[in-house]
Amino acid sequence: MGIFTEAKWEADPTLPGRANRRGGSYWYYLPDRLTTLQVSISPQLSEEIAAVERRVLDLAQADGITELEDLSRFLLRSEAIASSQIEGIAPAAKQVALAEIGEAEDIRGISDAAKLVARNMTVVREASDSLARSQSVTVTDLEQLQRALLGADHPAVGIRTVQNWVGTSNYHPIGAEYVPPAPGLVPDLLEDLLSYLNGATHGPLVQAALIHAQFESIHPFVDGNGRVGRALIHTVLTRRGLTSSRLLPVSLVLATFREQYVAALNDLRFDGSPEAPENARRIAEWIRIFSRAVDEAVTQAEDLRAELLLLAEQWRERLEAFRAANSYTRALRSDSGVARILRRLAGTPVLTVKTASQIYGLSVQNASEALTQLADAGIFSTRSIARGTTAFIANEVLDLVTLSERQLASTQFDTRVSKPVRQVPRLPRS
């Protein structure tokens, strides 16, 4: 799906350590253009892809959750944490939820890792919402995604103008696991990728698979390629109408099968025509692996949806019992602050009076009274997070985030059957 090109790296005698001063030949990879790529898919694989696409649509159209934000924001948080896990960042779900609030008000004790994951949530949200509605995705859009992820002041923001590589020394690409295209080739490759993304040459899943692989091969940024590349999966699926605001935990599945994922990506980087039988097989194999990852992501999203529905029913029963025991004579109004917060609690598991007021359009007094009632009913716990500021925390939601992440780190999607294959958070105490 491209060609390897030899280049020379000049030795730098000023660097520390003999190994770091090396110069010599290395090979960078120049992938073929997507806009002219011919893809050969067997009838069997075509049927598999169509079945997965139908499952994604069915999930997006499922009834049962009052607010669409319930499942989508829950999955967004899980996806962001898992996507950052792939990069070696591992904050707890509660820290991430607090970091989300920290974007609007001062909160003490939030780790840098949690802040980074909260920014990652911004990236995925932008990819799924803003880009899905735009007429076309541009290079500027990609840079904005990266900026949201890394922060506007990060020195690596923008399309790279230097050679980068994966593996080996920090000082030279000789012997690297993978060397992306030379920086001068990146703008044209990105324009081709975006031209393909903005079209509909192939079906949604095939397009998402090829976009993700091509972006990883181009590696257009100095930093943030992996997370932006995974966010583009959601961009494609949303633009093509398979998902709306609901997000699939694709990164969780890819992280679990990281060896197969990386091997399949590397297998795509071959010399020669993509139409040669062996090379066509490699492309089809990558599409098959990607499609099955999406299929498993749908299964996990369905299971999480069922868990959230069960939690919501338990909360309603708990609240009714509390109100009955405390002589609340009036029935709970559906437009009350308590009811509005409870309906969307799965999507907003950590709130303060200020954030509840902003999110749900409540007065400060109504927000305070609603949160207090839900805490008294045993639905929220409370924690002081700044002088004069209390966080109301739905631990059951955050525990479910943690449990689902642990489950998805098992190759059998059940830690009782197979242990996690990557770093995961500890079991929740509750």
Residues 158 and 264 both lie in one domain: yes
What pLDDT score does 66 carry?
45
Residues 97-129 have pLDDT tens digits of: 888 777 767 777 788 878 877 777 766 676 667
Residues 293 and 359 both lie in one domain: no
For residue 243, count CB atoms less than 10 angstroms from its CB and return exposed for 0-12, middle for 13-18, buried for 19 or more. Answer: buried
Residues 20-48 have pLDDT tens digits of: 999 999 999 999 999 999 999 999 999 99
- Give the whole-angstrom CA distance, residue 197 versus residue 184: 21
Q: What pTM, to 2 d.p., does this model score?
A: 0.86
- Does residue 330 lie within any of the structural domains? yes
- Does residue 157 lie within any of the structural domains? yes
- Does residue 270 lie within any of the structural domains? yes
- Give the whole-angstrom CA distance, residue 259 versus residue 271: 22
What pLDDT score does 204 carry?
97
Residues 251 and 385 both lie in one domain: no
Domain count, the chain: 2
The band of 87, judged by pLDDT with boundaries at 50, 70 and 90, is: low
- Does residue 187 lie within any of the structural domains? yes
- Give the whole-angstrom CA distance, residue 216 versus residue 59: 28
Closest CA to 114 of 96, 89, 94: 96
- Does residue 212 lie within any of the structural domains? yes
Residues 240 and 325 both lie in one domain: no
Model confidence at 387: pLDDT above 50: yes
Domain that holds residue 373: 307-402
- Min mean pLDDT across 4-18, 239-253, 279-293 is at 239-253
- Does residue 430 lie within any of the structural domains? no
Q: Which residues, 6 or more positions from 174, have their beta carbon under 8 angstroms from its beta carbon?
A: 9, 22, 23, 24, 25, 26, 168
Residues 291-339 have pLDDT tens digits of: 999 999 999 888 888 888 899 999 999 999 999 999 998 899 999 999 9
Amino acid at the residue 135: Q
